[in-house]
Chain A
Amino acid sequence: MHRHMQPGVPMAHLELANLLMTNLLHSGIALLWLLGLRRFAGPLAPTLWADLLRICLGLPPALLLLRVLGLPQAPLAWRTLRVGRWTELALDAGPLLLTALVALLAGTLLLFVVQELRPALLAWRDGVPRDALPDAQLQADAESMLELLRNHNLVPSRGRPPEALHLPNEQPIAGLRGIVRPQVVASTGLLTMLDREERLATLAHELAHWARGGNLRLLLVWLLRSTQAVNPAALILFRELVEAEELACDFLAARVTGRPAALASALLKAHGQPELQHNAGPLARAQAEVLRRAELSSVRARVERLLRSPPQRVPHWAITGGAVAVLVVLLWSVG
């Protein structure tokens, strides 16, 4: 026999549980759909994969908001999953399963706080270092790479192009920073270890980040992620997206420069160097080594992708649009 009211559970709490269950199911289904898509439709172009990950991360909270604002739900007979009943099932599941579910959500929240929120807050507190210097050669190289991106129709029509600055630092650093006034920075340590082709490929990679929305889009994605801090599927999607964005920018840089090996070589040079730990204790050095090994594993995957992947085209926007339409219908049917 089905129960339709939860004795002892106030209506407002039940509504909240329903909203949470909707988000958990939406994200889980989006992740499952995406993994199946990659499995059955073959490897997707890196830019498409990153775009779909971003959509899968952003669509569930957007649909939830629309639902709260009164978006009509799918007719009952057409709903693939009836969220209210799944919430009842979860609440009826008994203390053991309920505790496991709460532990899973709490663990996900803890990971978000420790590994994502805290570093973001620390970075925000520390602010952007102001010691980067103008560099005419770097700026000229960046402009030539920007021109290549423009020739491939990859540069947004609006938005201020980034300035290229030289960072006087011995660590091998390259990155895109700033939202309103974007800057591509490259450190002395990096510039001295790279040859010209590698330097151009690195600049093309960082400019590709800007062309794909830059830090403003990254901030929006992070905010969407933070609204789903307890959602394990959102955690997986976000982390996969961080990697996928790097692969997408590698792909674009290799495509516009026509030299994937130069970027692969730059990656190996930049990430193969152990970080300098002058005054660090043994624990800090051990932590740095673990992080460095994890980073090396990620870099190895990127290098393999650059060197071994067959040439791919940037997918037509209609492919992404069609995939989004399918995902919207799939998620709308869950209610």
Chain B
Amino acid sequence: MSAPALRVARAAAWSIALFGLLLVADRWLIGPEVIRGWQSSARLADLPPSVGPIATPAYLPEALGWPPHRVYFRLAPAPAWWLQLGGADGSQLWIGSGEPPVELPAQRCLGDAACPPGWRALTRRIQGQGIAVVGTLPPYELRRILDALVMSVP
């Protein structure tokens, strides 16, 4: 290899080494990138374990099917997860923890505002985690679902 070619090769090697050095320093000091913002999936199995324990219903009215139609989760800034269920009769149910995604039509009734007509929300702390059920089902059905929730790690 000629002297100029050797110098170019050395310059390229240094540039690649610096690229790698920065990458390693960043990942070592700061850690892997945490997914920010809401993610959604059609499969419950896509929920990452780092989202924490989730609540699954041991009881559901016959009109509602299982598994959920859609699963929403996020890891940062604070972990949150929501399961969206729907029935053939048009009834809707959301089970979740943490800040709700914008896709939840009645998300405002988890705050200070009232639920929209036909929607209800119940909340409870289960194993130290605030769990909410929000839906268009009658109040006694929501209560039964909430009573029968089982916590498990995805």
Contact = CB atoms under 8 A, between A and B. Distances in A.
A77 interface: yes
Interface in B1-36: 7-8, 10-15, 18-19, 22-23, 25-26, 29-31, 33-34, 36
Interface in A104-155: none
A169 interface: no
Interface size class of B (residues with CB under 8 A): 20 to 34
Nearest to A2: B34
B76 A330 contact: no
A307 to B, nearest CB: 23
Interface string A37-69: 101111000000000000000000000000000
B15 A330 contact: yes
Contacts of B90: none
B76 A2 contact: yes
A158 interface: no
Contact of B15 (A3, A33, A89): A33
Contacts of B12: 326
Interface in B103-137: none
Binding site secondary structure of chain B: helix
Contacts of B30: 2, 82, 85-86, 89
B15 A326 contact: yes
Contacts of A80: 19, 22-23, 26
B10 A4 contact: no
Contact of A334 (B15, B22, B31): B22
A2 B77 CA distance: 9
B27 to A, nearest CB: 9
Interface residues of A, number: 27
Interface string A1-15: 011110000000000
Given A41-B7, A80-B23, A85-B30, A32 B18 contact: yes
Contacts of A41: 7-8, 10-11, 14
B34 A37 contact: no
A17 interface: no
Given A76-B33, A80-B19, A36 B14 contact: yes
B11 A40 contact: yes
Given A4-B36, A333-B19, A334-B22, A37 B11 contact: yes
A208 B6 CA distance: 30
A29 B22 contact: yes
A86 B36 CA distance: 16
A228 to B, nearest CB: 20
Contacts of A42: 7, 10
Contact of A77 (B15, B29, B33): B33
Nearest to A80: B22
A81 interface: yes
Interface in A74-92: 76-77, 79-82, 85-86, 89
Given A40-B11, A326-B15, A82 B26 contact: yes
Minimum-distance CB pairs A-B, first 10: A80-B22, A41-B11, A4-B77, A40-B14, A41-B7, A80-B23, A40-B10, A85-B30, A36-B14, A41-B10
Given A36-B14, A41-B8, 5 more contacts: A4-B76, A32-B18, A330-B15, A330-B18, A333-B19
